[in-house]
Structure 1
Amino acid sequence: MMTLKSARGTVRAGVLTAALAALVCTTATTTFAAFAESPPPRPAAAQAEVPAGVTAGVAVFDRQTGTFTEQLNTSTQFRSASVVKLLIALDVLWNRSPDTLPAADRARIDTMLRGSDDTAASTFWANNGSGAIVDRMVARLGLTDTARPPATHPGYWGYTALSARDTVKIYRHLLDSAPAATRDYLLGDLRQSTRCATDGYDQHFGIAGSFNRPWAVKQGWSGFSSGGCTATTAKAAATAGEPEGAAPAPAGADAVDLSRPALHTTGVVGTGDRSIVAVFTLHPGGTSYGKAYTDIGRLTRSLNVPGASRPAGTWIGTWGSGVRVRTQATTTSGAMTTLPAGVEVLVSCQKRGQQVSQPPYLNDWWAHLPQYGGYMTNIYLSSPENQVPGVPVC
């Protein structure tokens, strides 16, 4: 007989059974996150809803009306992490057409923007003057809050200072001022952002998780040890151009925070790239990637983004680590990706499939995750019942 999850509050995970070995790489002790229904449409005067403990800088610019619909700490400087790759790419293409690039450089730009590849960024950084790249782009675009990495960390392009309002300026230049060939090439890469970055992090948080296409994104992350997609991150030693354990920022009120975990989502949303969205966030030390991923998702979904279309479904928390999304509702079907531990997921419907065991619990219900195009077992959803209340049957 099936054991329901109704009495469950906090999970004390034990050794996995053989049936779960193909499903879960690692089991962690965790407290269920609350799950929430998809938020109703935001009113025109929406305000950014920042989760507790998160420091945020937010700007949303409506290109149709030429006005900002959201502004919060827009001039605050954050370490850019991989968002600086926008400036690196624009610098490479300044006064030249993408068609004139050597094949190797074109391939580097493609992987740097689509998969947020750090090796490609480091090659351009070293070959094109390092911090001078930032200086040139500040002058060219009239950026006011952007600055090269501190003198103590000249090689760490991820330590470039950047603000939400300067990020809007970067996208406005790309959309409205850059040559058409440059605009189409770089935005084409951003539209092809891969779910899994080349370092094994799931990068479809924030804009990519909150809105239906069309969108184009450049994300950034720094200070996390594991980011989903794979059970073990492909690159444990460094993230976004900065080694783990790097020296903290210099003291001073204006110093850019180099220590707290950072997660940023930037890009354009809607038909005709109507809205430019820039969300920069810092999280308390020790925050897991799944928690930060969930928090920036909730913040981004709260924003008034003209032209955005929001996906249908129910947002539900998950528990455990190494939980896989599969092509079918069975543990023997192909694994598509691994979820960041404890992340909130969008569920469109649920159906019965292979029974899964996590003693003392059994569950044969599986959730369809439309943004992944696959299924996860309901046993790892933060729901009081095996069949999630209010979610339709597929």
Structure 2
Amino acid sequence: MRGEGSVSARPSGTAARPPAAGTASARPRATPKPRRERPRVPQGMTAGYVVYDRPSGRVVLQGNARRAFRSASVVKILIALDHLESRKPGAPIPKETRALLEPMLRVSDDRSATALWRRGGQRQIITRTARRLGLPGTLPPPASKPGFWGYTTITAADIVKTYRHILDRARPEVRDFILGNLRKAGQCGTDGFDQYFGIPRAVPRPWAIKQGWSGHAANPPRPCKATRASAVLPARARTSAVPDLGHPVLHTTGVLGPGDRRIMVILSTYPSGTTWDASVARLTRFTRALTKAAAP
């Protein structure tokens, strides 16, 4: 029987059994890597997030990756991608179109987004892009609100997949145009809100980012870079077809590090009445913790 009997009891000519594991002559086993601990999401914040490592092709950390959120301005990546991929390969971008795409991507210009949204067929943009890229959780705004591009439904998993498409599958001129503009993201959006929360506050450069915010007043609580005053984000009427309508959302997304090694997407929503400062602080704190937990 295995493991029983003394050496002298073995019949002559039989081979000695290999030493048991744990003896000095046994081959050492590789120490398994400790499982990464997911950081705690701050109280008063609901988040869906993914950190993806491109060299290894693996998800490093994730949580609620397929939870639905309303997109706010993150959808502008999809608007730009749909428009650019519909163009003939190698064709120059007209000056008037560039004048819409660049501010939309860099400083989240809403008027530019609306013009391109209408030009692309509104809800059809999302239907086409979701089908082409295979984004199961990405849905167009309700048919009753076709002009509301910010009511598009997205998930963290789908936005990571979108960045992967841009980085690894899109034509070079499409990739370079989108990421080149996201690398030049300005601190102040054209609506006056400071869009340097999350990744740009928690992660050192290089990065290329697209942020999203929605559910607050038309004007920021203070001008970008101004006083410490805080404003309440008022609730809006709910519609079941739009995720978290009536609650403020803040999203931080982008590619990080030399060679665009990592993709990070954090989508978040907050209770009605949460101040802009409080939600920005929670998202940035969580981004910092997630970056530390996902470090190579």
TM over 0.5: yes
Residue aligning to 2:216 = 224
Residue 270 of structure 2 is aligned to residue 283 of structure 1: yes
One-letter code of the match for 1:61? Y
Residue 227 of structure 2 is aligned to residue 267 of structure 1: no
- How far does the alpha carbon of each residue in 1:174-214 deviate from its partner, in whole angstroms, 9 at most, with x for none? 00000111111110000000000111010011111111110
Report the Cα offset of residue 64 of structure 1: 1.2
Residue aligning to 1:184 = 176
**How many angstroms apart in 2 are the aligned matches of 1:220 and 1:73?**
18
Match of 1:248 among 238, 246, 256: 238
Report the Cα offset of residue 256 of structure 1: 1.6
CA 1:172/1:305 → structure 2, altered by over 3 Å: closer, same or farther? farther
- How far does the alpha carbon of each residue in 1:73-95 deviate from its partner, in whole angstroms, 9 at most, with x for none? 00001000000000000011014
Aligned-partner SS, 1:217 = strand
Residue aligning to 1:47 = 38
**How many angstroms apart in 2 are the aligned matches of 1:269 and 1:98?**
27
Residue aligning to 1:258 = 245
Which stretches in structure 1 are left out of the alignment for 5+ residues?
Answer: 1-42, 233-238, 310-394
One-letter code of the match for 2:106? R
Taking structure 2 as the reference length, the TM-score comes to: 0.80
CA contact (8 A) 1:214 1:271 kept: yes
Aligned-partner SS, 2:197 = coil
Larger Rg: 2
CA contact (8 A) 1:275 1:305 kept: no
Aligned-partner SS, 1:264 = strand
Aligned-partner SS, 1:302 = helix
Aligned-partner SS, 1:299 = helix
Taking structure 1 as the reference length, the TM-score comes to: 0.61
CA 1:174/1:306 → structure 2, altered by over 3 Å: closer, same or farther? farther
* Length, aligned pairs only: 254
Residue aligning to 2:154 = 162
One-letter code of the match for 1:176? D
Report the Cα offset of residue 306 of structure 1: 8.9
**How many angstroms apart in 1 are the aligned matches of 2:127 and 2:246?**
24
- How far does the alpha carbon of each residue in 1:6-26 deviate from its partner, in whole angstroms, 9 at most, with x for none? xxxxxxxxxxxxxxxxxxxxx
- How far does the alpha carbon of each residue in 1:143-193 deviate from its partner, in whole angstroms, 9 at most, with x for none? 010000012322100000000000000000000000111111110000000
CA contact (8 A) 1:260 1:282 kept: yes
After superposition, the CA RMSD in angstroms is 2.3
Which stretches in structure 2 are left out of the alignment for 5+ residues?
Answer: 1-33, 228-232
CA 1:98/1:85 → structure 2, altered by over 3 Å: closer, same or farther? farther
**How many angstroms apart in 1 are the aligned matches of 2:294 and 2:216?**
32
CA 1:76/1:174 → structure 2, altered by over 3 Å: closer, same or farther? same
Residue aligning to 2:71 = 80
Report the Cα offset of residue 290 of structure 1: 1.1
Instruction: From the two aligned structures, give the one with the greater strand fraction.
Output: 1
- How far does the alpha carbon of each residue in 1:336-355 deviate from its partner, in whole angstroms, 9 at most, with x for none? xxxxxxxxxxxxxxxxxxxx
Within 5 A, what are the aligned runs for 1:268-347? 268-304=255-291
CA 1:193/1:65 → structure 2, altered by over 3 Å: closer, same or farther? same
CA 1:170/1:49 → structure 2, altered by over 3 Å: closer, same or farther? same
CA 1:231/1:172 → structure 2, altered by over 3 Å: closer, same or farther? same
- How far does the alpha carbon of each residue in 1:251-296 deviate from its partner, in whole angstroms, 9 at most, with x for none? 7xxx621110000000000111011001000011111111111100
Sequence identity percentage: 46
Structure 1 runs of 4+ with >6 Å offset: 305-309
One-letter code of the match for 1:64? P
